[in-house]
Amino acid sequence: MICGLDISTSITGLTILDPETGDILYCDHVDMRKEKNFFKKAEMIEKKLDYISYRFHVSKVYIEQSLQSFRSGFSSAQTLSLLSKINGIVSWQCYKIFGLQPQYLAAISARKLVGIKVPKGQKAKEVVMKFVIDNVEDFTVEYTRHGNPKPGYADRADSYVIAKAGYINERQEAQNPN
Protein backbone atom coordinates (compact mmCIF):
# COMPACT_ATOMS: atom_id res chain seq x y z
CA MET A 1 0.00 0.00 0.00
CA ILE A 2 1.11 3.54 -0.71
CA CYS A 3 0.86 6.06 2.12
CA GLY A 4 0.77 9.79 1.42
CA LEU A 5 1.13 12.38 4.17
CA ASP A 6 0.49 16.11 4.22
CA ILE A 7 2.15 17.07 7.51
CA SER A 8 1.22 20.26 9.30
CA THR A 9 1.37 21.64 12.82
CA SER A 10 -2.41 21.99 12.88
CA ILE A 11 -3.99 19.26 10.72
CA THR A 12 -2.17 16.34 9.08
CA GLY A 13 -3.78 14.48 6.18
CA LEU A 14 -3.14 10.76 5.55
CA THR A 15 -4.11 8.70 2.50
CA ILE A 16 -3.58 5.02 1.68
CA LEU A 17 -3.79 3.96 -1.97
CA ASP A 18 -3.95 0.52 -3.51
CA PRO A 19 -0.57 0.05 -5.25
CA GLU A 20 -2.19 -1.80 -8.17
CA THR A 21 -5.13 0.48 -8.96
CA GLY A 22 -4.30 3.79 -7.27
CA ASP A 23 -7.72 3.74 -5.59
CA ILE A 24 -8.24 5.23 -2.15
CA LEU A 25 -8.41 2.59 0.57
CA TYR A 26 -8.22 5.01 3.48
CA CYS A 27 -8.25 8.79 3.76
CA ASP A 28 -8.34 10.67 7.07
CA HIS A 29 -6.78 13.51 9.01
CA VAL A 30 -5.49 14.23 12.50
CA ASP A 31 -6.77 17.51 13.89
CA MET A 32 -4.24 18.90 16.38
CA ARG A 33 -5.46 22.51 16.49
CA LYS A 34 -6.61 22.34 20.10
CA GLU A 35 -3.38 20.71 21.33
CA LYS A 36 -0.70 23.21 22.31
CA ASN A 37 2.01 20.71 23.35
CA PHE A 38 4.23 19.97 20.35
CA PHE A 39 5.10 16.45 21.54
CA LYS A 40 1.45 15.55 22.13
CA LYS A 41 0.72 16.66 18.57
CA ALA A 42 3.41 14.25 17.36
CA GLU A 43 1.92 11.53 19.57
CA MET A 44 -1.50 12.07 17.97
CA ILE A 45 -0.03 11.46 14.52
CA GLU A 46 1.90 8.43 15.79
CA LYS A 47 -1.33 6.85 17.06
CA LYS A 48 -2.92 7.28 13.62
CA LEU A 49 0.16 5.77 11.93
CA ASP A 50 0.01 2.81 14.35
CA TYR A 51 -3.66 2.34 13.47
CA ILE A 52 -2.79 2.38 9.76
CA SER A 53 0.01 -0.17 10.30
CA TYR A 54 -2.49 -2.63 11.81
CA ARG A 55 -4.96 -2.21 8.94
CA PHE A 56 -2.62 -2.03 5.94
CA HIS A 57 0.74 -3.35 4.81
CA VAL A 58 2.37 -0.07 3.79
CA SER A 59 5.10 -0.60 1.20
CA LYS A 60 5.90 3.05 0.33
CA VAL A 61 5.61 6.30 2.25
CA TYR A 62 5.51 9.67 0.52
CA ILE A 63 5.60 12.90 2.49
CA GLU A 64 5.07 16.41 1.24
CA GLN A 65 8.40 18.16 1.49
CA SER A 66 8.32 20.93 4.08
CA LEU A 67 8.81 24.51 2.98
CA GLN A 68 12.46 25.44 2.82
CA SER A 69 12.32 29.20 2.30
CA PHE A 70 10.31 32.31 3.00
CA ARG A 71 7.69 33.61 0.61
CA SER A 72 5.89 36.88 1.00
CA GLY A 73 2.57 36.43 2.80
CA PHE A 74 3.33 32.89 3.94
CA SER A 75 4.84 31.22 7.01
CA SER A 76 7.11 32.91 9.51
CA ALA A 77 10.56 31.59 10.52
CA GLN A 78 9.04 30.18 13.71
CA THR A 79 6.34 28.32 11.76
CA LEU A 80 8.85 26.95 9.24
CA SER A 81 11.06 25.74 12.09
CA LEU A 82 8.14 24.06 13.85
CA LEU A 83 6.99 22.47 10.59
CA SER A 84 10.49 21.10 9.95
CA LYS A 85 10.59 19.62 13.45
CA ILE A 86 7.23 17.88 13.16
CA ASN A 87 8.11 16.71 9.64
CA GLY A 88 11.29 15.13 11.01
CA ILE A 89 9.48 13.47 13.90
CA VAL A 90 6.73 12.06 11.66
CA SER A 91 9.36 10.86 9.18
CA TRP A 92 11.06 8.99 12.05
CA GLN A 93 7.70 7.59 13.18
CA CYS A 94 7.08 6.26 9.65
CA TYR A 95 10.51 4.64 9.64
CA LYS A 96 9.93 3.12 13.08
CA ILE A 97 6.35 1.95 12.47
CA PHE A 98 6.51 0.84 8.81
CA GLY A 99 10.25 0.10 8.59
CA LEU A 100 10.43 2.37 5.55
CA GLN A 101 12.39 5.47 4.69
CA PRO A 102 9.89 8.08 3.51
CA GLN A 103 10.36 9.69 0.13
CA TYR A 104 9.74 13.43 -0.10
CA LEU A 105 7.83 15.17 -2.85
CA ALA A 106 7.56 18.91 -3.40
CA ALA A 107 3.92 19.99 -3.48
CA ILE A 108 4.33 21.71 -6.85
CA SER A 109 5.92 18.60 -8.42
CA ALA A 110 3.24 16.33 -6.95
CA ARG A 111 0.42 18.51 -8.26
CA LYS A 112 2.04 18.62 -11.71
CA LEU A 113 2.44 14.83 -11.78
CA VAL A 114 -1.24 14.38 -10.89
CA GLY A 115 -2.31 16.92 -13.54
CA ILE A 116 -3.25 19.87 -11.33
CA LYS A 117 -2.40 23.34 -12.59
CA VAL A 118 -2.80 26.24 -10.17
CA PRO A 119 -3.56 29.44 -12.11
CA LYS A 120 -1.80 32.61 -10.98
CA GLY A 121 -3.64 34.39 -8.22
CA GLN A 122 -5.54 31.29 -7.06
CA LYS A 123 -4.89 29.46 -3.82
CA ALA A 124 -3.36 26.03 -4.32
CA LYS A 125 -5.40 24.41 -1.50
CA GLU A 126 -8.68 25.50 -3.15
CA VAL A 127 -7.60 24.36 -6.62
CA VAL A 128 -6.42 20.99 -5.26
CA MET A 129 -9.66 20.51 -3.31
CA LYS A 130 -11.81 21.24 -6.37
CA PHE A 131 -9.69 18.94 -8.56
CA VAL A 132 -9.91 16.04 -6.09
CA ILE A 133 -13.68 16.50 -5.52
CA ASP A 134 -14.32 16.65 -9.29
CA ASN A 135 -12.00 13.80 -10.32
CA VAL A 136 -11.75 11.26 -7.50
CA GLU A 137 -14.98 9.39 -6.88
CA ASP A 138 -13.69 7.66 -3.72
CA PHE A 139 -13.04 11.05 -2.08
CA THR A 140 -15.85 12.25 0.17
CA VAL A 141 -16.17 15.63 1.85
CA GLU A 142 -18.24 16.88 4.76
CA TYR A 143 -19.41 20.48 4.58
CA THR A 144 -20.22 23.17 7.13
CA ARG A 145 -23.70 24.67 7.22
CA HIS A 146 -22.31 27.50 5.09
CA GLY A 147 -21.32 25.07 2.32
CA ASN A 148 -17.55 25.11 2.94
CA PRO A 149 -15.51 21.93 3.39
CA LYS A 150 -15.02 21.14 7.08
CA PRO A 151 -11.50 21.54 8.48
CA GLY A 152 -9.22 18.65 7.55
CA TYR A 153 -10.68 17.86 4.15
CA ALA A 154 -8.23 20.11 2.28
CA ASP A 155 -5.43 18.29 4.14
CA ARG A 156 -6.93 14.96 3.09
CA ALA A 157 -6.99 16.21 -0.51
CA ASP A 158 -3.33 17.29 -0.25
CA SER A 159 -2.34 13.90 1.19
CA TYR A 160 -4.21 12.21 -1.67
CA VAL A 161 -2.20 14.25 -4.20
CA ILE A 162 1.08 13.25 -2.51
CA ALA A 163 0.03 9.57 -2.45
CA LYS A 164 -1.21 9.68 -6.07
CA ALA A 165 2.00 11.38 -7.23
CA GLY A 166 3.93 8.59 -5.48
CA TYR A 167 1.73 6.02 -7.21
CA ILE A 168 2.31 7.64 -10.62
CA ASN A 169 6.03 7.86 -9.91
CA GLU A 170 6.11 4.13 -9.07
CA ARG A 171 4.28 3.29 -12.30
CA GLN A 172 6.66 5.40 -14.40
CA GLU A 173 9.72 3.82 -12.77
CA ALA A 174 8.31 0.32 -13.37
CA GLN A 175 7.79 1.12 -17.07
CA ASN A 176 11.22 2.75 -17.46
CA PRO A 177 13.59 0.88 -15.10
CA ASN A 178 16.71 2.57 -16.52
Query: How do residues 48-71 score in pLDDT, each as one tens digit?
Result: 999 999 999 999 999 998 754 444
Per-residue pLDDT, 79: 66
Domain coverage including residue 67: 2-175
Please state the length of the chain.
178
86 sits in which H/E element: helix 77-98
Give me the pLDDT at residue 43, please.
94
User: Across the chain, which distance is largest between two alpha carbons, in Å?
Assistant: 52
CA-based nearest residue to 80, from 92, 68, 63, 64: 68
- pLDDT, tens digit, for every residue of 104-129? 999 999 999 999 998 898 888 888 98
Count the neighbouring beta carbons within 10 Å of the beta carbon of residue 8: 23
CATH number at residue 146: 3.30.420.10
Q: Cα separation of 155 and 152, whole Å? A: 5
The reported pLDDT for the residue numbered 12 is 95
Residues of the chain with pLDDT under 50: 68-74
Into how many domains does the chain fold? Answer: 1
